[in-house]
Amino acid sequence: MEENKCLLIKVLVLAMNKAFYFTTNSKDFKVNDFIVVETTRGIELGKVVAEAIEKEIIDLAEYPRVIRKGYNEDYEVYLSNIERAKEAIAKSQEEANKLGLDMKIFAAEYTLDITKIIISYLSETRVDFRELLKVLASLYKCRIELRQIGARDKAKMIGGIGICGLKLCCSSFLNEFDGISITMAKNQMLALNIPKLSGHCGKLICCLKYENDTYLELQKELPRIGTRVRYENDIYKITSMNVITKMIRIENKDNIATVPYEQIKDDLLPKDYPMNVPESSRPKMEEPKNVTKEEQIEEVKEQKIESDTNVQSKNNNVNKNHSNNKNNHYNNHGHNNHHRPFNKNKQNSQGKNNDEKN
């Protein structure tokens, strides 16, 4: 075998009920053979589901490895670990209740070598399980891993049949959960019936995401809901559509019809186009004019000249108003003294003072 290639074998890990590829140095493994492999959780027992293949690979670290071939004794240990795990669930729940912890022990799994037990629990809030961890470690004398899971993880572990009649996606091939929103259902023109759109976990079904990108791409070519359209000399409103077949449902107060998009795509009207108005009183849509490049240039020049004229006129009005305001201010404060009434009393008083001095 070449240096840049390795042998990969597909193995179904029994405890996880999922198949993964592992690296191996032997081609002797056959389908349905037991095999001991190393996973991120520890040593696990698996079953070969596909023979080894050669593949060019850059980094061997990205694939886990096969440890050895499995035997019937290993399978018996695996079965006995399942019984131990059931007892561990009951005991762990009992100890959690004694400590007053708000958690429900849901599942427990032993690794094949019984050096580690993985305990999964459900809880609405974060739980401080340090005391519980000490108690369980003293009971089982092995490594304990407590893992909080959500409703979707629970459905994944239990499994079931979906509304499509097939095995749940999360328990068959999904490795990670993507964010699902109600907008995806709206994009696919689905009825917003939450119970029907929810899965076994109580959340929105994962398959809403599978076709969402395709629907978004197809909708770019179609008009929006609510757009007006002229059809058979009458005005209709688009109320729904089938994105796949491109059939459009149109309605007005007198009629309902379903027509192909190609038949009405040239008769689309603005969304605010009036309905329930006689045809004679409806505003007529101006047909686009074929304007040459020279005519466009002349129109731009005329608009510029008109704009400059308006600006000049506005400036003249501003200057005129400013001049008038200035004159009014000057008249009121600077040259109105000669219009003031003559104060005779003041003059008589001054005359008397002069006589007294004399």
Is residue 132 classed as helix, strand or coil in its secondary structure?
helix
Regions of the chain with pLDDT less than 70: 1-4, 57-60, 276-297, 300-301, 303-358
Q: Which two tokens stand for residue 115?
A: 């050096």
Pairing assessment for the beta strands 116-122 and 143-149 based on DSSP bridges: parallel
Domain spans in the chain, listed from the N-terminal domain onward: 5-70, 77-149, 164-214, 228-281
User: How far is 37 from 113, CA to CA, in rounded Å?
Assistant: 11
Q: What residues have CB less than 8 Å from 101, skipping those under 6 apart?
A: 127, 128, 129, 132
Beta bridge partners of residue 18, listed in sequence order: 13
Q: What is the pLDDT of residue 349?
A: 46
What φ, ψ does residue 126 adopt, rounded to 5°? -75, 140
Q: What is the pLDDT of residue 192?
A: 87
Q: What is the pLDDT of residue 3?
A: 61
User: How far is 270 from 31, CA to CA, in rounded Å?
Assistant: 64
CATH tag, 77-149 = 3.30.300
Q: What is the pLDDT of residue 174?
A: 82
Query: Which residue type does 159 have?
Result: G
239-297 pLDDT tens trace: 989 888 999 999 998 899 999 999 998 888 887 777 765 555 555 545 445 556 566 66
Q: Which two tokens stand for residue 210?
A: 């599978």
Q: What residues have CB less than 8 Å from 218, skipping those under 6 apart?
A: 243, 244
User: How far is 298 from 58, CA to CA, in rounded Å?
Assistant: 66
Q: Apex CA 165: angle with CA 163 and CA 170, to 5°? A: 70
**Among candidate residues 248, 191, 182, 186, the one with its CA nearest the CA of residue 215:** 186
User: How far is 61 from 216, CA to CA, in rounded Å?
Assistant: 39
0.85 cut: is pTM over it? no
Q: What is the pLDDT of residue 294?
A: 66
Sign of the torsion formed by the C-alpha atoms of 287, 263, 187 and 234: positive
Q: What residues have CB less than 8 Å from 185, skipping those under 6 apart?
A: 192, 197, 204, 208
Q: What is the pLDDT of residue 172?
A: 82
Does residue 129 contact residue 115 with C-beta atoms inside 8 Å?
Answer: no
